[in-house]
Amino acid sequence: MKENKIKWILPFLVFIIGMGILVGTVDHLKANAKKQNREMAGLNAMTYAERVKKDMTKGIGVTDTLKQILVSEHGKISRFSQVAENMMTNSIQSIQLAPEGIVTEIYPEKGNEAGKIDLIHDKDRGEVSRYARDNGVFTMQGPFELKQGGRGIAVRNPVYLENDDGEEVFWGFTIVIIRVPDIFADTVKALSDFGYDYRLSKNVSRREETYEVISRSKGKLTDPVSYVFEMAGDRWKLEVMPRQGWFGSRSLYMVSLGGLLIVVLLTGLTGALLVFDEHRRRFKRLAVTDALTGIYNRHGFDEKVEQYLKQHPEKPCVGVQFDIDDFKLINDMYGHASGNRALQILAQKMQQYFGEKAVVGRNGGDEFCIFLPDCTCGKVKHWLEEFTKSKRAFCYDGEEKEFHISLGYAEYPLQGDDYDHLMRCADAALYEVKLRGKNGCMVYQKGFHSEVRTRLGFALTDVSENLPGAFIIYRADKTEDEILFANREMIRLTGCQSMDELLEYTQSSFRNLIREDEQETVEHNIWEQIESGHRNDYVHFHLKKEDGSLLEVLDHGRIVENGRYGKVFYVLIVDYMSMRKHFNV
């Protein structure tokens, strides 16, 4: 009931608090948005002003190239028209040479004939030209109306050559007429596309503070941010402001609407997160927990122990490795359900015996591990020995079946100076127990080698191939007695060379190994024994070999519940005459 109340109260509190935060946030945004937008606009003004400057520099570079050619060619440029043609771009109106300040060469000449003037003595251009000549700096004049249409800026770069006495003498000007705003059209378009209105201006003259507009957008500028920069001794100014204003009502509306939506979503999500958090904790437990036994899996065990060792590197502790003796045989004889039950029983005993301070985990299969903090091998020796010898059993068909474990342990940092080394030492001790007959407990000693550790659980073939007789497994089904396995002795007894040959000869049916006239009798005897309460006693019949000959045999079987195949027969078959001869019957 208390948790249900929390699930209702928390979302309500989130809504109230969220609305309060939203109102405060909107007021704060309203008070600070203009300042933030102006800072951003200032950065953009600086960025795009530098791009305008870079664009103009491309035009200025044409005069520098011509200047270098004149210096290297001692004041001459052969094939000027061809050189100029290679330098032309869409934003250049014309390229000119003015030796001694008089324009004599213009490219393209057509439409630009009026440009051939004496710059030094010209009424409109003389003052700027003389300033460039006398001070050795290039100048920019304009903007002015071009006769061809549009507006332009003239860039004049003074050229000086050395005379015979090694003195620099004024040669004239290299000139380029740049079309504006064509040369920086891409830059101002990008600025406009970015959501800004702009105005680009240049000072009327070096001595005046007034500016003349070179290019601008259509929008009206209200209290714009400006960035002033110099180029060729002239001052340029780029003014910008957001097209939507410094903080338009539309933006405020969108922020308010968006904030309200967030508050509503958070209110709804809060309740969901309470449920999700519970699931998250459960999934976290599942990620580090073995699903079958409920204790830590290998990942969870490693994480827990490594965390402890990191926090308490100086404290002694004990690592334990153990497994169930002959666990494979338990699965084969009693089925995987019984094997799983044995694992669960063992995990329960571990938790009960070692308590909450110990970290217990399952490595996988029938292998388990224990970490005992703040103790030594000497202190836990008797404890571990008692645990190893404790009686443990699972129930199968109403009968208790005991099973045993083998256990090895080692001490940190005495024997293993880190987590991996500690568990390898414990594993080596476990292996030594296996070598000495299993069902025991042993501490790690110098000379044990974990690298030779192998899984010693008995596999089906390990047992069957060494039985004193032929062994076969087949389905316990009256209509489908499929052969599932036969050992080498059984294959040899039938006169076959391999399991595949046996299956082909019998068509995978045990019935086909019995002489035809005995088949029904033998099957009847087997099932009569089972149905009368016996697990299958001895049955006598003639085994039909692959070459057609007959062998008198004695069949002794047992019916077993298998987790994969259901009921199956485990059967030993012995040569009847050989047995009688041996026992003189």
- State pLDDT tens for residues 373-432: 999 999 999 999 999 999 999 999 889 999 999 999 999 999 988 999 999 999 999 998
- Residue 170 DSSP label: E
Instruction: Please state the rounded mean pLDDT for residues 159-176.
Output: 91
- Asked if residues 336 and 344 have their Cβ atoms less than 8 Å apart, the reply is no
Residue whose entry in the numeric block shows the structure tokens 């699930």: 7
How far is it, in rounded angstroms, from Cα 55 to Cα 183? 6
How far is it, in rounded angstroms, from Cα 200 to Cα 185? 12
- Residue 514 DSSP label: B
The CATH homologous superfamily for domain 41-256 is PAS domain (3.30.450.20)
Q: 331-367: per-residue pLDDT in tens?
A: 888 889 999 999 999 999 999 999 999 999 999 899 9
pLDDT for 457: 44
Number of H helices, E strands in the chain: 15, 21
| CATH 3.30.450.20 domain locations along the chain | 41-256, 462-583
How far is it, in rounded angstroms, from Cα 450 to Cα 578? 46
Residue whose entry in the numeric block shows the structure tokens 């809504």: 15
pLDDT for 466: 63
Q: What CATH class does 298-452 carry?
A: alpha beta
354 Cβ contact partners less than 8 Å away, ≥ 6 residues apart: 360, 370, 372, 387
Q: How far apart are the first and last CA of the chain?
A: 81
Per DSSP (E only), the strands in 43-162 are 92-99, 105-107, 139-145, 151-162
pLDDT for 458: 46
> Would you say residue 107 has pLDDT above 60?
yes
How far is it, in rounded angstroms, from Cα 64 to Cα 70? 10
Give φ, ψ of 97 to 5 degrees.
Answer: -120, 135
Show the tokens assigned to 236.
Answer: 């340029």
Cis peptide before 181 (omega within 30 of 0): yes
The CATH homologous superfamily for domain 462-583 is PAS domain (3.30.450.20)
| CATH 3.30.70.270 domain locations along the chain | 298-452
Judged by average pLDDT, the poorest of 112-126, 163-177, 495-509 is: 112-126
> Would you say residue 450 has pLDDT above 70?
no
How far is it, in rounded angstroms, from Cα 14 to Cα 190? 43
Angle at 505 between CA 500 and CA 508, to 5 degrees: 70
- Determine the length of the chain: 585
Q: Which of 5, 48, 159 is nearest to 97 (CA)?
A: 159
Amino acid code (one letter) for 253 = Y
How far is it, in rounded angstroms, from Cα 268 to Cα 12? 10
Confidence of residue 222 (pLDDT cuts 50, 70, 90): confident
| pTM of the predicted structure, to 2 decimals | 0.41
- Asked if residues 429 and 444 have their Cβ atoms less than 8 Å apart, the reply is yes
Instruction: Please state the rounded mean pLDDT for residues 257-276.
Output: 74
> Would you say residue 263 has pLDDT above 90?
no
Mean pLDDT across the chain? 85
Show the tokens assigned to 130.
Answer: 């003389």
pLDDT for 157: 93
Instruction: Please state the rounded mean pLDDT for residues 440-451.
Output: 80
- Asked if residues 347 and 294 have their Cβ atoms less than 8 Å apart, the reply is yes
Q: 6-29: per-residue pLDDT in tens?
A: 566 877 787 888 888 878 877 777
Q: 457-506: per-residue pLDDT in tens?
A: 444 555 666 666 788 999 988 888 999 888 888 899 999 998 889 999 99
Angle at 26 between CA 20 and CA 29, to 5 degrees: 135
- Asked if residues 371 and 317 have their Cβ atoms less than 8 Å apart, the reply is yes
> Would you say residue 261 has pLDDT above 90?
no
Cis peptide before 413 (omega within 30 of 0): yes
Q: Which of 413, 88, 28 is nearest to 252 (CA)?
A: 28
Alpha carbon distances (Å) from 277 to 269, 284, 285: 11, 10, 12
Q: Which of 511, 486, 514 is nearest to 501 (CA)?
A: 486
Instruction: Please state the rounded mean pLDDT for residues 306-315.
Output: 93
> Would you say residue 5 has pLDDT above 60?
no
Angle at 45 between CA 41 and CA 47, to 5 degrees: 115
Q: Which of 11, 16, 23, 19 is nearest to 267 (CA)?
A: 11
pLDDT for 454: 46
94 Cβ contact partners less than 8 Å away, ≥ 6 residues apart: 106, 107, 108, 112, 115, 176, 177
Confidence of residue 564 (pLDDT cuts 50, 70, 90): low
Confidence of residue 113 (pLDDT cuts 50, 70, 90): confident
Q: Which of 521, 524, 529, 580 is nearest to 553 (CA)?
A: 580
Percent of the chain with pLDDT over 90: 40
Q: What is the dihedral of CA 474, 475, 478, 481, to 10 degrees?
A: -50
Give φ, ψ of 285 to 5 degrees.
Answer: -65, -40
Per DSSP (E only), the strands in 337-398 are 359-364, 367-373, 393-396
How far is it, in rounded angstroms, from Cα 489 to Cα 468? 9
> Would you say residue 3 has pLDDT above 60?
no
Amino acid code (one letter) for 321 = Q
CA max distance for the chain: 147
